[in-house]
A and B are shown apart, each in its own frame.
Chain A
Amino acid sequence: RKEVEQDPGPFNVPEGATVAFNCTYSNSASQSFFWYRQDCRKEPKLLMSVYSSGNEDGRFTAQLNRASQYISLLIRDSKLSDSATYLCVVNQGAASGSRLTFGEGTQLTVNP
Chain B
Amino acid sequence: EPEVTQTPSHQVTQMGQEVILRCVPISNHLYFYWYRQILGQKVEFLVSFYNNEISEKSEIFDDQFSVERPDGSNFTLKIRSTKLEDSAMYFCASGVNTGELFFGEGSRLTVL
A101 within 8 A of B: yes
B interface residues, how many (CB within 8 angstroms): 25
Report A89-106 CB contacts with B as 1/0, cut-off 8 Å.
101010111111111110
B25 within 8 A of A: no
Minimum CB–CB distance from A12 to chain B (whole Å) comes to 19
Residues of chain A within 8 A (CB-CB) of B98 are 32, 91, 96-98, 100
Report B23-59 CB contacts with A as 1/0, cut-off 8 Å.
0000000010101000001111100111100011010
State whether B103 touches A98 (Cβ < 8 A): no
Interface of A (DSSP majority class): strand
State whether A103 touches B42 (Cβ < 8 A): yes
State whether B99 touches A99 (Cβ < 8 A): no
Residues of chain B within 8 A (CB-CB) of A89 are 99
Q: Which residue of A lies closest to B105 (CB)?
A: A43
Residues of chain B within 8 A (CB-CB) of A105 are 42
Residues of chain A within 8 A (CB-CB) of B58 are 99
Residues of chain A within 8 A (CB-CB) of B55 are 95-98
Report B46-89 CB contacts with A as 1/0, cut-off 8 Å.
00111100011010000000000000000000000000000000
Identify 21 residue pairs between A and B in the complex whose beta-carbon atoms are under 8 Å apart, listed by A's number. A32-B98, A42-B106, A43-B91, A44-B43, A44-B91, A44-B103, A49-B99, A87-B43, A91-B98, A93-B56, A95-B55, A96-B31, A96-B50, A96-B98, A98-B55, A99-B45, A100-B101, A102-B35, A102-B43, A102-B45, A103-B42
